[in-house]
Amino acid sequence: MSGSEGSSDRSAGGGDSSSTAGASVGDKKKDKAKVSRTSLILWHAHQNDAAAVRKLLEEDRSLVNARDYDYRTPLHVASLHGWIEVSKCLIEYGADVNAQDRWKNTPLADAEGAKKYSMIELLKSYGGLSYGQNGSHFEPKPVPPPLPNKCDWEIDPSELDFSNSNIIGKGSFGEILKACWRGTPVAVKRILPNLSDDRLVIQDFRHEVNLLVKLRHPNIVQFLGAVTERKPLMLITEYLRGGDLHQYLKEKGALNPSTAINFALDIARGMAYLHNEPNVIIHRDLKPRNVLLVNSSADHLKVGDFGLSKLIRVQNSHDVYKMTGETGSYRYMAPEVFKHRKYDKKVDVFSFAMILYEMLEGEPPLSHYEPYEACQICGRRTQAYVSCKRLHS
């Protein structure tokens, strides 16, 4: 009898354990499905597909206030682009018209920042209020950094999902992987394990993090967070689906003047923000590989990779500074950097000119020379031009 009871008890215990494990797996599947549907409704809101948004909401009404990693709702997305029908559908299903994103912006603030006047009227008619930075997500003017405290941006590595990751870039000190963070694709710069104790590597990594946390502009790759308290050290930014400008030019060749000008304007806006005095950031490695396309349509560019950037506090706009020479990529390097002379933010302007030439011609200047030789020749030609100008002045 006692044996029978013991067996029964063990059987019951085993059943509970199995049930708990099953529930756990079920919960994980539900969470994953929820993340997927969140991405879907945000995507359809961005694409102005009111029918698809409505269908999702009919299936799951709670998606109306779904949020991405910046806490932006479908109504934020629709308001920014001025999609009236999508917004009406979302409001009909109970969207919070005054939901605030990561930077405390409401949908109305985004609509005002993007000058979507019909949307502004619609949101106000439903009690929309304008909180935040007046359309921070795509507002071109500089705004205060949103993440001043480390606790706001330090990421728990367990939140990063590398199960379907792939390498999208490599460097001397690390690799860049496409991964997933809170259900959203992100780019992760990860320091190589054999360099995780190298003092200079750690110093450079922390320098880049401290620089990126201060930057926020539509034409600068957005910093999301970093892992600095555990190894491997990782820096997390938004993932841009369009790849880099180098690959784009390799596939397309010379761009038509209209496209080249639009691309150049995006790069120039990002660089003008970095060069804003008195706290000037010199990129020092501006090249097509460090200019990223937001999507495959290539309708928006962002400047990225600030590993070699330098922050200087400008006392006088004509001052030049003694900084490390031969920093960056020879093909796009200004002569004064190559020659280890004093330099300022104009070295980025030189690199920008090289990129513009490449966009119009389909290949970089002096492409039939090796990068180091091309840099030498540019230096000699620049010196000859300066000497000639002095003789005629």
Structure confidence by residue, pLDDT tens digits, 34-44 = 557 888 898 89
Distance CA 19, CA 9 (A): 15
- At 5, is the pLDDT very low, low, confident or very high (cuts 50, 70, 90)? very low
pLDDT tens digits for range 210-253: 888 888 888 999 989 999 888 888 999 999 989 899 999 999 99
Which pTM does this prediction carry?
0.57
Which range among 102-111, 182-191, 332-341 shows the weakest confidence by mean pLDDT? 332-341
- Token representation of residue 283: 């990129």
Asked if CATH classification 1.25.40.20 holds for the domain at 28-125, the reply, yes or no, is: yes
Q: Is the pLDDT of residue 260 over 90?
A: yes
Q: Is the pLDDT of residue 175 over 50?
A: yes
Catalytically active residues are 285
Cβ proximity of 129 and 98 under 8 Å: yes
Which range among 81-85, 183-187, 274-278 shows the weakest confidence by mean pLDDT? 274-278
Select the more confidently predicted residue: 393 or 82.
82
Q: How many CA atoms lie within 13 A of 255 on its CB side?
A: 21
Distance CA 388, CA 365 (A): 22
* Residue (of 390, 366, 388) closest to 376 by Cα position: 366
- Token representation of residue 155: 């990421």
Beta-strand pair 184-191/160-170: unpaired
Distances (CA, A) of 52 to 48, 65, 71, 89, 180: 9, 16, 21, 11, 24
Query: Can you name the CATH fold of 150-238?
Result: Phosphorylase Kinase; domain 1 (3.30.200)
Q: Where in the chain is the domain with CATH 1.25.40.20?
A: 28-125
Distances (CA, A) of 390 to 86, 318, 386: 63, 19, 6
Asked if CATH classification 3.40.50.300 holds for the domain at 245-391, the reply, yes or no, is: no
pLDDT at residue number 87? 96
Let me know the angle formed at the C-alpha of 312 by 309 and 313, rounded to the nearest 5 degrees. 155
Select the more confidently predicted residue: 4 or 285.
285
Q: Where in the chain is the domain with CATH 3.30.200.20?
A: 150-238
Select the more confidently predicted residue: 328 or 247.
247
Segment 158-168 mean pLDDT? 89
pLDDT at residue number 306? 74
232 upstream amide cis, omega within 30 of 0: yes
Q: How many CA atoms lie within 13 A of 75 on its CB side?
A: 30
Q: Is the pLDDT of residue 20 over 70?
A: no
Q: Is 12 exposed, middle or buried (0-12, 13-18, 19+ CB in 10 A)?
A: exposed
Select the more confidently predicted residue: 24 or 337.
337
pLDDT tens digits for range 107-154: 998 888 888 999 999 999 999 988 764 444 444 344 444 445 666 788
342 labelled binding-site residue: no
pLDDT at residue number 149? 63
Q: Where in the chain is the domain with CATH 1.10.510.10?
A: 245-391
pLDDT at residue number 88? 96
* Residue (of 64, 62, 40, 63) closest to 52 by Cα position: 40
Instruction: Compute the mean pLDDT over every residue in the chain, rounded to the nearest whole number.
Output: 78
Segment 4-31 mean pLDDT? 44
Q: Which residues contact 107 (CB under 8 A, 6 or more apart)?
A: 73, 75, 76, 78, 79, 80, 87, 97, 98, 99, 123, 128
